[in-house]
A and B are shown apart, each in its own frame.
Chain A
Amino acid sequence: DTEVTQTPKHLVMGMTNKKSLKCEQHMGHRAMYWYKQKAKKPPELMFVYSYEKLSINESVPSRFSPECPNSSLLNLHLHALQPEDSALYLCASSHGGNTEAFFGQGTRLTVV
């Protein structure tokens, strides 16, 4: 099983809302990632968790708050987003180091 499950698939939120994106994997991967992808662009790294600890924050605005409750779950809490934050948000996982990464289907976020 190489599945990474993301919920919800679609999300529309207002600029004053608080919402959360969820990601789950059962491959025993120790590294989990959040990427943001705009149309016709490659994914851009936002956060990396390794062994449930935040290891990389790519200078992401504080309105995005990641959380790793356990080794299988990754959340991204959203608050006071801007319309330019509308994008496809992708979760991925891997064993870390030089190994392949598996992506979820993404959450398509629209901020109105």
Chain B
Amino acid sequence: QKEVEQDPGPLSVPEGAIVSLNCTYSNSAFQYFMWYRQYSRKGPELLMYTYSSGNKEDGRFTAQVDKSSKYISLFIRDSQPSDSATYLCAMTDRGSTLGRLYFGRGTQLTVWP
């Protein structure tokens, strides 16, 4: 079992839809959670990061963490065709001083007009 599980999709939604992207993890030492957006043939772009259980909102994006269930989510409201990309969840281990990232396999999202 991989330490971070993420449904690879692909996920296809109409413009304006609410998108829910999810990851589960098995290592209870994972403490810091990030979501990256990666356009084709580009580097990952940091979208959201959070430490605490609960919700964190930034514009159309909401990151949610449930440490008791080892489950994180990213919600995208009013999705746009420009949101079409691969979304990667990533997390760090509280025991590490080096900031090593553990990635999910990524979810490919297409938003059609």
Contact = CB atoms under 8 A, between A and B. Distances in A.
A94 B33 CA distance: 14
Contact of B42 (A31, A94, A105): A105
Contacts, number: 77
Interface string A90-103: 10101111111111
B49 interface: yes
Contact of A97 (B8, B41, B99, B104): B99
Interface in A77-112: 88, 90, 92, 94-106, 108
Contact of B41 (A41, A92, A108): A108
A98 B94 contact: yes
Given A43-B44, A106-B42, A101 B99 contact: yes
Interface residues of A, number: 31
Contacts of A65: none
Nearest to A105: B43
A50 B96 CA distance: 12
Interface residues of B, number: 28
B103 interface: yes
A41 B104 CA distance: 9
A96 B99 contact: yes
B100 A99 contact: no
A61 interface: no
Contacts of A55: 98
A41 B108 CA distance: 11
Top-3 shortest CB links A-B: A42-B103, A98-B32, A103-B43
